[in-house]
Structure 1
Amino acid sequence: MGNSISAQRNTNIGLIKWLTFLMFTMFAMTTDAVGVIIPEVMKQFDLSMTAAGLMHYAPMIAIALAGILLGFLADKLGRKKTIIIGLALFALNSYLFIIGNTFAFYLSLMVISGLAIGVFKTAALALIGDISNSTDEHTSTMNAVEGFFGVGAIIGPFIVSYLLTQGVDWKWLYVVAATLCVVLIVIALMVKYPDTKKTTEEPNNLKGTLKMMKDPYALGFSMGAFLYVAVECAIYVWMPTLIEGYQGDFEFVATYALSIFFILRASGRFLGAWLMAHFNWSLMLSVFSVLILVCFMGSVVGGINYAVILLPLSGLFMSVIYPTINSKGISCFPKAKHGSVAGVILFFTAAGAALGPLAMGAVSDAMGSDAKYGFILATVFAGILFLGTLINIIYNPAEKRLKELNESEY
C-alpha cells in the first residue's frame, strides 16, 4: 500500500512539473514574440515606435501589478485554483484576438493577458516549492522551468514569422496559445496537487504582500531580478537596432543574432539546472554575472564588430542568473508565503522589463538616436548586478535563513 501511494505521488509530481514546464513555454510564446509583432502593428495602424512599443510595455506593467496585487491568491486560494483561474482568463482573452481589428482593442487584450499571466505565474512559482525536497532542488527545478520558458521564447517568434510568410495574421499566435492553454487547464483539473505546508498564522492578503516588500531578503533578491531583467531586455529589445546594417565577417551571426541569443539562453538554463545541483549557487551567480559584464563592456568598447558576437553569447551566461535569484528569493520564506513573495519578485521583474528598455531608449534618443549609448547604460546595470553578486558571495546574508527554512520547510 505504501509503495502504491508513493508511486502515485511521484506520478503526480511528474505531471505537475510538466504542467509547469508547459505553462512557462506557452506564455513565453506570446510575451517574447512581441518583438516580431510590433513592426507588423506599426505598419497595420501607421504607428510610431513609441506607440507600438505599448504592446510590450503595457503587458509588462500589467504583469507587475498582478504580481504585487494578486500574488497572495496562490497562498489564499491554493495553487491549483489560482493556476486554473489564471489560465482560464488567459485562454478566453487570447481567443478574443480573432474578433477585433483595432489597436486599442489589441492593446486592451495585451493588458488583460498580462494580468492573467501574473496570476498563474505566481501560483506556478509557488508550486515549485511544494514539489521540491530542498532549497537546492528548488533552484535546480527553477532553472529547468526557465529553460522551457526559453524554448517558448524561440517557438513564439518562429510561429509568428511562419504565419506572416503564409499570409496569415500574427494574431493567430494567440489562438494557438489559447488552445494549448485549454489543454493545460484539463491537465490541471485532473492532477492532485500537494498540500501547502502551513507554518505561519499571518493572513494571506494584499496587506501582507505589501509588508513583505519591506523585508530585506525579498527586497534584495527583487532588486537583483530588476537589474538582471533590465540587462536581458537590452538584448531582445535593442540589440537588433544596434547591429542593424552591420557589414563584416560575421553577417550570418548578425542576421540570426537574436535567435542565437535565445537558443543559448534556453540551453544554458538546462545546463544551469545541473550546475545548481552540483556547485555553490553564490559562486555561480558571481562567475556568470562577471561574464555578462565582460560581454557588454567588450561590445561598448570594441564597437559593433565585437557586439555581433559578444551580445548573443551573453545569453549563455545570463541563463542561470534569473531562475537562481528567483528561487533563492522565494526559498527565503515559508512555503505558505511563496505565492506572495513570488508576486513581489515578479513585480520587480516586470518593472525591469518595462523600465530598463525605456531608459535605454531615452538615453539613446538624447544622444542622437544612437543605440550604443543605451548599451552603455545597460553595461552600468550589469556592473551593479555583478557588484551585488560579489557582496552576496562575500557576506552570504541569506545563508542562515535558507538553512533554517531548508530544515523546517523541506
Structure 2
Amino acid sequence: MSDIKKKVPDLLCLALFLLIFINGFESGGYQASLHTIGKAYDLSITSMGLFATVELFSTMLAPIILGGWADHIGKKKSLILMIYLQIISCAFIGIGSSQIAFLLGIFILGISTSTIQFVGIAAVGDIYKDSGFKIGIITSMYALGSVVAPLVVGVYLKLGVNWRVLFWLIMIISAFSLIGLFDRRADWSIKKEVVHELTPKGELVIPVIMMLSFIMLIYVGFENGFAFFVNSYFLDELHSEAGEFALSLYWMMMIPSRLISGKFSQHAVRNLILATVSIPLITVIMAYTSFVTVELVLGAMLGFACGAIYPNVLTLAMKYSGRYSATATGIITTATGIGGVIFTGLMGIMADNLGYRTALILLALMFMVDIIIAVGLKLYCRHNRVNGSERISE
C-alpha cells in the first residue's frame, strides 16, 4: 500500500505534464496555422496580428478573473472545469465557419489554456517544492508540444487537410488528459503546508515577483511576435517554405535549454542575464541574413536562448512565493498575456508598414529592457536576505 502512495505524486505530475504539453501544442499549432487561417479569412498582416492577440488578450484576463476562483475551489476542480471548457471551445472552432465564431472560440480557448497553465504549474510547484528540475521538465513539455504541432500542421496542410484539424486534435488530447486527473488516489495537498525559507511568514516577496513578471512580459511579447510571423517571414522575405521547420527547430531547442536550466536552477538569475543578452544579439543578426540555412541555425540558437527564460523565472517565483504559488504564477501569467497582446499586434503593424526585417530589429531593441531588469534582480538577490536565509541564484 505504501508503494502505491509513493507513486501517486509522480502519476499526478505526469497528468499535469500532459496538460502543459497540450498548451504548447495549441500555441505552436496556432502559430503555424496563422498564415493559412489568414488566407481563409482574407486577412492582411496587421489583421493576422490582431487575430493572434485575441487569444493572448484572454490569456491575460484569465488569471485576473479566475485566480481567486481557482484558489477557492481548489486546483483539481479548476483544472477539470477548464479542460471541459477547452474541449467545448475547440469543438466550437471546429464546427463554426465565420470569423466571429472563430474569434469567440479562440478567446474562450485562451482563457482555458491560461488557467490550466498557471494552476498546473503551481500544482507541480506545491508537490515538488525543492525540485527546480521538475520546473525544467514541465516547461520543456510546453516546448515539446510547440515543436510537434508545427510539424503535424505542416504535414496535413500540405495534404490539403482543413486547418481546423488542429483544434479537433487538441480536443481529443484534452479529453485524454482527464484520465489522470480523475485518479482518486492522487493527493493534491502534498507538501501544501511547506513555506519557503526565503519568504517572510510564507508571504510573497513582491519586488522579486514584479521583476520576474516584467521579464516575462517582454519575453513572451518577443516570443509571440517572432513565432507568429516566422512562417510568413520565410515565405515573404526568403521565399522559402521552411518556415514551419524553422518554428519547430526554434521550439525544439528550448527543450534541452529548459532541462539544463532546471538542472542548474541554483544559478537562475545568472542564467536569466545570459539569456537576455543573447536573445537580442541573435535576432539582429537574423534580420541582416538572407541565407535560409543560416537563418535556420540562428533560429535554433534563438530557441535555445529563449528556452532559458521561463524555467528560471518559475524557479525564482516558486522560491519567493511562500504559500501563494498559484498567486505568483497567476501574476506572471497575466504579465505574459499583456506582453503577448501588445507585442504580437505591434509586430503585425510593424511588419506591414516597415517590413519583417526592420520589425525584428525593433523587437530585439525592446528586449534590452529585460537585460536591465535581470541585472537589477541579481543586485536585489545579492543584497537582500529574508529572515537570515542564504542568498540565492546569484
TM-score normalised over the length of structure 1: 0.83
> 1:229 is matched with which residue: 220, 223, 226?
220
Q: Does 2:184 correspond to 1:193?
A: no
Q: How does 1:33-52 map to 2 (within 5 A)?
A: 33-52=29-48
Partner residue in 1 for 2:327: 340
**Letter paired with 2:47:** A
Q: Does 2:183 correspond to 1:169?
A: no
Task: Give the number of aligned pairs.
Answer: 381
Q: Which moved more, 1:111-120 or 1:167-176?
A: 167-176
Contact 1:90 1:116 in 2 (8 A): yes
Q: 1:287 to 1:46 in 2, by over 3 A?
A: closer
SS in 1 for 2:264: helix
Contact 2:234 2:241 in 1 (8 A): no
**Letter paired with 1:234:** G
Map Cα deviations across residues 361-389 of structure 1 (whole Å, 9 max, x no partner).
Answer: 33444xx4322222222222332212222
Map Cα deviations across residues 138-181 of structure 1 (whole Å, 9 max, x no partner).
Answer: x3212211111111112222222232233322212222211211
Q: 1:159 to 1:90 in 2, by over 3 A?
A: same
Q: Does 2:19 correspond to 1:23?
A: yes
Identity of aligned residues (%): 18
Q: How does 1:13-162 map to 2 (within 5 A)?
A: 13-134=9-130, 137=131, 139-162=132-155
Q: Which moved more, 1:232-241 or 1:370-379?
A: 232-241
Q: Does 2:260 correspond to 1:271?
A: yes
Partner residue in 1 for 2:272: 285
Contact 2:86 2:113 in 1 (8 A): yes
CA distance, structure 2, for counterparts of residue 66 and residue 111 of structure 1: 10
> 1:316 is matched with which residue: 304, 329, 335?
304
Map Cα deviations across residues 179-200 of structure 1 (whole Å, 9 max, x no partner).
Answer: 2111211210114233163589
CA distance, structure 2, for counterparts of residue 115 and residue 392 of structure 1: 30
CA distance, structure 1, for counterparts of residue 95 and residue 238 of structure 2: 43
Q: Does 2:310 correspond to 1:325?
A: no
Q: How does 1:191-270 map to 2 (within 5 A)?
A: 191=184, 192-195=186-189, 197=192, 215-244=206-235, 256-270=245-259
Contact 1:58 1:110 in 2 (8 A): yes
Q: 1:281 to 1:114 in 2, by over 3 A?
A: same
CA positional deviation for 1:112 = 0.7
Partner residue in 2 for 1:376: 361
Q: 1:125 to 1:405 in 2, by over 3 A?
A: farther
Q: 1:246 to 1:370 in 2, by over 3 A?
A: closer
Contact 2:249 2:300 in 1 (8 A): yes
CA distance, structure 1, for counterparts of residue 305 and residue 273 of structure 2: 11
SS in 2 for 1:53: helix
- Structure 1 residue runs without a partner (length 5+): 201-211
> 1:355 is matched with which residue: 342, 345, 355?
342
Q: 1:193 to 1:379 in 2, by over 3 A?
A: same
